Amino acid sequence: MTQRRTIAVVGAGGKMGMRISDNLARTSHDVRYSETSPAARERVTAAGRTLSDTGTAVPDADVVVLAVPDVALAAVSADVVPLLRPGAIVLTLDPAAAYAGVLHRRDDVHYAVAHPCHPSVFLERTTPEEYADSFGGVAAPQDVVAAFEGPDLKRAVAEEVIRVMYGPVLDVHWVSVKQLAVLEPTLVETVACMVGDLLREALHEAVHTVGVPSAAARAMLHGHIQVALSNTLRGANPFSDGCRIAMDYGRETIVRPDWKKIFDDTELDRVIARMLQHVY
C-alpha cells in the first residue's frame, strides 16, 4: 500500500495544474492547492477543491509540484523553495528551466522533472474513453520520461506521485535533465509538433489553394499519416518505389540539409532560451 504523502500543487488552476489535480484529488494523499490568478482560482474552487496560500501549502509538503509556465519558474521557485522542509522534492513538469539552471537551488531539497509522453499513436485502444483521451491523464495509458537529482529512496517517492498525477501510466523512463531536454523540446516539439503543423498547412493548401474537396483530402491524409508512421517507425511495410522518389523530392525541397544541427548543444541552448523568454 502506498504511503500517504503531503503534496502541494502550485499553479493548481492552470491547464496542467487542473489535469494533475484531478488525478491527485482521487487519492488518499493530503493534497494542497495553491493558485494566484483570479480566473485560475475560480477554476480550482469550481472543481470543489479548497485553496491554500503558498506559504501554508508548501512548508511541510513531501512533494511540491510547480505546475506553472516555464517563464515563471525562476520567480516561483525563488519564492517557494526557501519555504520547503529539508528532504522535500520539487517536481517540475518541463525540463527547460531545470536544464537552463534557473530554478532556485537548495542543497537539502531534491529536484525532479517529469514530462508525459501522451498516449502512443500505436496504443491499442479498446474503449471509447481511451479513444477520446488523446492527451493522456484520463483513460488512455501513457509513458512518462523523468529526471531526478537525489537518492533512490526519494526517487521512488517522486515516481509514486508521477504515476498518480499522469495516470494511468505504463512506465516511467529515467534519464538525465539534458537527455529530457533533448527529447522535449528538440525531438517532440522542434521536430514532431512542427511536422504536425506542416501537415496542417499542407492540407490547407490542397483544399483552399488547389480546390480538392476537404473530405477527400482529410481522408487521404489521415490514412497515409498512419501508414507513414507505421512504415517508418515500426517497419510495418515497405514504401513503393514511386513513393520513395516523392519522399526524396520532398526532403530535397522542404528539409534543410543541415537540419540535424538542432541536436547540437548550442542549438538546444538557443531554443530553450527562446522558450523561457517567450520569444518565438
DSSP string, 207-253: IIII---HHHHHHHHHHHHHHHHHHHHS--SPPPHHHHHHHHHHHHH
Q: pTM of the predicted model, to two decimals?
A: 0.93
- DSSP E strands in the chain: the ranges are 6-10, 30-34, 63-66, 89-92, 110-116, 142-149, 169-174
Phi, psi of 92 (to 5 degrees): -105, 165
Cα angle at 135 between 131 and 141, to 5 degrees?
65
Contact 68, 46 (CB under 8 A): no
Q: Give the Cα separation of 32 and 39 in Å (integer).
A: 18
Residues in the chain with pLDDT values less than 50: 279-280
Name the β-bridge partners of 92: 66, 113
* pLDDT of amino acid 280: 31
Instruction: Provide CATH 3.40.50.720 ranges for the chain.
Output: 6-176
Arch. (CATH architecture) of 6-176: 3-Layer(aba) Sandwich (3.40)
Show the cell assigned to 87: 528532504
